Amino acid sequence: MKRLKVAIIEPSLIVAEGIEAVVRRLADYDVVLNVRTVAEYHLRRCADVDVAFVALSHAHEELGAVQKIGIQTSLTEPDVVRGVSTIVSLYSTEEEIVKALGEGVDTPTTTNFSDSHELSERERDVLVLVAKGYTNKEIASELFISPHTVISHRKNIVHKTGIRSVAGLTVYAVLNKLIDSEQL
């Protein structure tokens, strides 16, 4: 099984270190980043992160294609936060943290990346339309799929190609002869 990469974004060093210690004991996870702020996360992110423990106060911030597990450090913080798949608290047991990790990476929005770095036929279709400048909505309409599925394909494309920018994906499409320059 592929080892999943975990990031921790938590202003309290003590809390962050505690979570890291628990996760490090688990066989299927690697802690690749332990930072205090989302800005620092973006600055230092050097590996594709699969799941992030993030302080509830920062959980609304954009982390890209990463599943979020909220860290509740105060009883006054909400139990439900948009974009957070599950929540752990200061009182969670090790078992509860393991369970949260399982839920965090198994939610329906999670992309199950294939080990193969070859793009599937559908991913190639999406890539070509991305390269032509289509929006997610336009791609969904063109290919008769939901925008949610388009986003999922795009996550897979980014993971497999290692390229995030539209300009870079366009070059990828040309170099791999998925599109010729006249179509751009």
Q: Which residues are near another protein by CB under 8 A?
A: 39-40, 42-45, 117, 161-165, 167-168, 170-172, 174-176, 180-181
- In which element (H, E) is residue 115 found? none
Task: Provide the minimum distance between the beta carbon of 154 and another protein in the complex, in angstroms, as a whole number.
Answer: 14
Nearer to another protein, 10 or 72 (CB): 10
DSSP characters for 49-100? -SEEEEEGGGTTS--SS-EEEEEE-STTS-S--TTEEEEEETT--HHHHHHH
Nearer to another protein, 21 or 39 (CB): 39
Task: Provide the minimum distance between the beta carbon of 178 and another protein in the complex, in angstroms, as a whole number.
Answer: 11
Nearer to another protein, 24 or 42 (CB): 42
20: left (phi over 0), alpha (psi -120 to 50) or beta: alpha
Indicate the burial class of 57 (C-beta count within 10 angstroms; 0-12, 13-18, 19 or more): middle
Nearer to another protein, 43 or 90 (CB): 43
User: For residue 41, what are the contacts with CB-CB under 8 A and spacing of at least 6?
Assistant: 7, 9, 33, 35, 52, 63
Task: Provide the minimum distance between the beta carbon of 45 and another protein in the complex, in angstroms, as a whole number.
Answer: 7
Work out the angle at residue 153's Cα, subtended by the Cα atoms of residues 152 and 157, and round it to the nearest 5 degrees. Answer: 120
Task: Provide the minimum distance between the beta carbon of 11 and another protein in the complex, in angstroms, as a whole number.
Answer: 15
Task: Provide the minimum distance between the beta carbon of 117 and another protein in the complex, in angstroms, as a whole number.
Answer: 8
Nearer to another protein, 29 or 172 (CB): 172
CB atoms within 10 A of CB 72: 21
Task: Provide the minimum distance between the beta carbon of 119 and another protein in the complex, in angstroms, as a whole number.
Answer: 11
Residue 9, helix vs strand vs coil: strand
Nearer to another protein, 98 or 174 (CB): 174
